[in-house]
């Protein structure tokens, strides 16, 4: 990462720093959020899934709005506003306990993330050059994200060590810092003449892009499966661990693997594969990692399940980002990433909603876990088969 990072222009370095900060801030909260909602807020598993689903669904609205506005008024403003809204929502989680109010806070949390994330990816895509360099930059983005995730796990385990609402205040402060840095250092692209008045007919081109539509439909199921890890691991850990906050170390270990292995996997696997084949392979690994949680009755087994999952994540994440840049157009890249994040939110929301109901049947029973594996195999097979579809062949 060091050599690749040092060769980047300052603007890209700042954006990658922002990616690191946003993941550090959010993953202080994410591994413990289901546990806090259950232990401190007193919610049922179904209610926990509903809170997470509301964040995911509102993320869709924020993504579409953020991508659309970013193409018209500039990405810096949307990145900054999104960070501020998300920080405010996360701070509110600390003192809100009523289920209905938690749903409102979750809604704002999703909106903030939806504004921030696609605008950041669009800015990275716009500043990166074409070809393999773009793949390298998005791999560096994945490494930066996982440095943040790994640091969050260590911070949570060694400094907090219990289910405490203080994590929400720390996370909110970091998102505030992200907003300040973004406003000062991220290029205001509209001042450079990049933003144009785009007609409704121009935006219709996105929905007439058949390859993008096919990819989006398939992605709903991929993201629905991906979301199960953040929901299932904490609840599985809480069922047998005396100190469930240690579950944050699963994310730390996974992130360390990404930092160490992402460049290798990008160069030796992703760049040598059809993107659709890589996406199918990544989805299969993710499904196997999640379904193997059925056997997790010790922290070491949780780590092993996480390793399988993160191999799939390392294959899938850069592939998805690069695929969007190839499916989209420079003029509407913010809109394409916004719609891609809409699909992510839809899949994650449906995944949290359905997954919570599966897990409520019994974490110790085999039914939820065999369901995850079956879905992974089916989705992977579909992705593999559609790679030969004529529309896809023209692009890949």
Which residue ranges make up each domain of the chain?
Answer: 12-187+202-395
Contact present, 305 and 293 (Cβ < 8 Å)? yes
Q: Is the pLDDT of residue 191 over 50?
A: no
Instruction: For Cα atoms 87, 147, 333, give the angle at the middle one, nearest 5 degrees.
Output: 65
How many Cβ atoms are within 10 Å of 362's Cβ, its own excluded?
A: 10
Can you tell me which residue has the tokens 């801030």?
A: 25
Q: What is the CA 169 to chain-centroid distance, rounded?
A: 21
Smallest Cα–Cα separation from 229: which of 21, 28, 31?
31
Mean pLDDT confidence for 197-214: 71
Identify the three-state secondary structure at position 273.
coil
Can you tell me which residue has the tokens 């929502």?
A: 89
Structural tokens at position 293: 């949680």
Look at residue 66 in the predicted model and tell me its pLDDT.
76
Give the integer Cα–Cα distance in Å for 259 and 266.
12
Contact present, 81 and 32 (Cβ < 8 Å)? no
Mean pLDDT confidence for 156-173: 81
Look at residue 34 in the predicted model and tell me its pLDDT.
87
Give the integer Cα–Cα distance in Å for 165 and 173.
13
Q: Is the pLDDT of residue 21 over 90?
A: yes
Give the integer Cα–Cα distance in Å for 160 and 37.
17
Look at residue 302 in the predicted model and tell me its pLDDT.
92
Distances (CA, A) of 188 to 71, 86, 137, 176, 237: 12, 21, 20, 19, 44
How many Cβ atoms are within 10 Å of 64's Cβ, its own excluded?
A: 18
Look at residue 202 in the predicted model and tell me its pLDDT.
59
Mean pLDDT confidence for 98-117: 92
Q: Is the pLDDT of residue 392 over 70?
A: no
Q: Is the pLDDT of residue 136 over 70?
A: yes
Mean pLDDT confidence for 187-192: 59
* 266 confidence band (pLDDT: 50, 70, 90): confident
Say what percent of the chain tops pLDDT 90.
31
Architecture of domain 12-187+202-395: Up-down Bundle (1.20)
Q: Is the pLDDT of residue 127 over 90?
A: no
Say what percent of the chain tops pLDDT 70.
87
Q: Is residue 95 classed exposed, middle or buried when 0-12, 13-18 and 19+ CB atoms within 10 A define those classes?
A: exposed
What secondary structure letter does DSSP report for 266? H
Look at residue 125 in the predicted model and tell me its pLDDT.
74
Cα atoms found within 13 Å of the Cα of residue 309, Cβ hemisphere only: 27
Identify the three-state secondary structure at position 161.
coil
Contact present, 347 and 223 (Cβ < 8 Å)? yes
Q: Is the pLDDT of residue 131 over 50?
A: no
Least confident span in 33-42, 108-117, 151-160, 261-270: 151-160
* 173 confidence band (pLDDT: 50, 70, 90): very high
Mean pLDDT confidence for 317-328: 78
* 382 confidence band (pLDDT: 50, 70, 90): very high
**More confident site: 127 or 360:** 360
H-helix or E-strand spanning residue 217: helix 210-226
Q: Which of 82-96, 174-188, 328-342 has the highest mean pLDDT?
A: 82-96
Q: Please, what's the b/e burial string for 238-271 (b: 16 or more CB within 10 A of its CB; e: otherwise)?
A: beebeebbbbbbbbbebbbbbbeebbebbeebbb
Look at residue 162 in the predicted model and tell me its pLDDT.
64
Smallest Cα–Cα separation from 107: which of 345, 355, 356, 357?
345
Q: What are phi and psi of 97, to 5 degrees?
A: -125, -25
Mean pLDDT confidence for 44-62: 87
Mean pLDDT confidence for 21-39: 89
Look at residue 104 in the predicted model and tell me its pLDDT.
95
Least confident span in 20-29, 67-76, 180-189: 67-76
Give the integer Cα–Cα distance in Å for 297 and 333.
45
């Amino acid at each position: 990462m060091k050599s690749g990072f040092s060769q980047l222009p300052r603007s890209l370095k700042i954006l990658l720093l922002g990616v690191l900060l946003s993941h550090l801030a959010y993953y202080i909260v994410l591994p413990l959020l289901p546990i806090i909602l259950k232990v401190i807020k007193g919610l049922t598993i179904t209610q926990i899934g509903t809170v997470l689903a509301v964040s995911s669904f509102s993320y869709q609205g924020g993504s579409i709005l953020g991508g659309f506005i970013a193409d018209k008024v500039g990405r810096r403003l949307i990145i900054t506003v999104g960070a501020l809204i998300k920080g405010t929502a996360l701070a509110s989680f600390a003192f809100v306990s009523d289920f209905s109010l938690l749903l409102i806070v979750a809604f704002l949390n999703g909106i903030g993330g939806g504004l921030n994330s696609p605008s950041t990816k669009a800015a990275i895509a716009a500043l990166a050059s074409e070809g393999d360099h773009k793949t390298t930059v998005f791999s560096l983005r994945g490494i930066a994200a996982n440095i943040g995730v790994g640091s969050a796990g260590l911070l949570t385990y060694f400094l907090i060590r219990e289910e405490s609402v203080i994590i929400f205040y720390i996370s909110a402060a970091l998102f505030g810092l992200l907003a300040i840095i973004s406003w000062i250092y991220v290029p205001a692209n509209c001042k450079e003449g990049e933003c144009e008045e785009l007609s409704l007919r121009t935006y219709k081109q996105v929905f007439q892009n058949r390859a993008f539509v096919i990819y989006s439909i398939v992605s709903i199921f991929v993201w629905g499966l991906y979301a199960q890890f953040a929901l299932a691991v904490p609840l599985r850990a809480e069922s047998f661990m005396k100190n469930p906050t240690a579950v944050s170390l699963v994310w730390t270990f996974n992130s360390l693997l990404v930092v160490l292995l992402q460049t290798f996997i990008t160069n030796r696997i992703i760049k040598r594969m059809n993107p659709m084949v890589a996406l199918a392979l990544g989805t299969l690994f993710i499904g196997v990692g999640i379904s193997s949680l059925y056997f997790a009755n010790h922290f070491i087994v949780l780590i092993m399940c996480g390793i399988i999952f993160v191999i799939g994540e390392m294959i899938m994440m850069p592939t998805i980002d690069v695929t969007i840049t190839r499916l989209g157009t420079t003029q509407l890249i913010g809109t394409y990433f916004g719609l891609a994040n809409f699909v992510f939110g839809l899949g994650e929301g449906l995944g949290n909603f359905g997954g919570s109901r599966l897990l409520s049947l019994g974490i110790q029973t085999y039914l939820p876990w065999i369901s995850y594996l079956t879905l992974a195999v089916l989705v992977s097979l579909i992705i593999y088969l559609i790679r030969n579809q004529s529309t896809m062949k023209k692009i890949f």
